Structure 1
């Protein structure tokens, strides 16, 4: 059997690329071809690509109090679903040019929740929806003191309206199981927390 990753980026032939929309985000149209697994070459085909920058998401967690901080804000993409378009999410922001993901994590923690991290640990990085967008998420765990956490935050000139909630870790994890939290970054991070809580809490008791 042939092993995975037989092909690499240089096996893709991009014959033409043009920007078909430029606003807050960008949409490109590509004409491309690539080899097939059966040895033939794929005929030229077109795809639209949502060109979106990378982003960083952080799960703020206080292992001493066993609490997480999640932020609630309006999300346009959730309109039309059988749910509220105000979602519970992680602290997050887009990576600006010249910033590394940890810079973004610290900046957004202050802007969106008034938090500072004692330290950051990477959880993983993942492509959001590689069939149609370029975005990569850099996902972190950030240790906090949640004693004075919570409240209203966000930058008005960016039309942000954010409420930071302090929740028991068990309650947040239960919200995944009953579907109240249904965005990928929060699900991945809270499931990671469920697996790692004993280790993180044991470290506080040493």
Structure 2
């Protein structure tokens, strides 16, 4: 079925040129490429600037005993232009550095950003953040934690992080989707996936 829907693959695009434009905390690269057309033949040469920030994880921290999420709040410069407040309610997240596994990053970031240790970890899904402009793929997880350990302000000072921890009842967290309190993609997707798969996740933790 997948082959019938997606008729083209990696062999149907030709990368003609890769030109680095900027290298800093993130990178910007200009690509020139051609690709096969649905009507047959090949496209003209297309140029696109692509934001390359690596790949990342996002982990929804959940206490099944207290029925609470552990969420965080921090400032996001990208939210200034369109948000009532650039301080966003989020799940724990972090970039996967070279040599790290996604699971290791989940555990490291949960300690750094929320001060809690993950007991069990379940992979939910992965998705492309914005494939028209960036190569980033985000891996979503759900992690079991003890919410009573979640409190205070966290983050790495040398990275300028100032992260406030919140304990949020599950029902409230899900209501925040409809209320627009949560409006960033990773957190929305993680909460919605949890709402659909809660029983499956908690049962798998009991059997580990």
Q: TM-score, normalised by structure 2?
A: 0.93
Residues 82-123 of structure 1, C-alpha deviations (whole Å, 9 max, x = no match):
421000111111000000000100000000001111110000
The verdict on how the C-alpha distance between 1:65 and 1:204 changes in structure 2, with shifts beyond 3 A counting, is farther
Contact kept? 1:63, 1:200, Cα under 8 Å: no
CA distance in 1, matches of 2:206, 2:53: 42
Contact kept? 2:57, 2:139, Cα under 8 Å: yes
- Cα deviation for residue 20 of structure 1 reads 1.0
The verdict on how the C-alpha distance between 1:18 and 1:84 changes in structure 2, with shifts beyond 3 A counting, is same
Structure 2 stretches lacking a partner, 5+ long: none
Partner of 2:44: 43
CA distance in 2, matches of 1:53, 1:204: 30
Partner of 1:31: 32
Partner of 2:182: 181
Q: CA RMSD in A?
A: 1.8
Contact kept? 2:27, 2:53, Cα under 8 Å: yes
Partner of 1:155: 156
The verdict on how the C-alpha distance between 1:134 and 1:201 changes in structure 2, with shifts beyond 3 A counting, is closer
Quick check: which one's helix share is greater?
Answer: 2
Match status 1:190 vs 2:204: no
- Cα deviation for residue 201 of structure 1 reads 5.9
CA distance in 2, matches of 1:205, 1:10: 44
Partner of 1:102: 103
The verdict on how the C-alpha distance between 1:168 and 1:16 changes in structure 2, with shifts beyond 3 A counting, is same
Partner of 1:146: 147
CA distance in 1, matches of 2:39, 2:47: 21
CA distance in 2, matches of 1:165, 1:126: 26
Contact kept? 2:114, 2:154, Cα under 8 Å: yes
Contact kept? 2:70, 2:166, Cα under 8 Å: yes
The verdict on how the C-alpha distance between 1:4 and 1:60 changes in structure 2, with shifts beyond 3 A counting, is same
Larger displacement relative to structure 2 (5-14 or 111-120)? 5-14
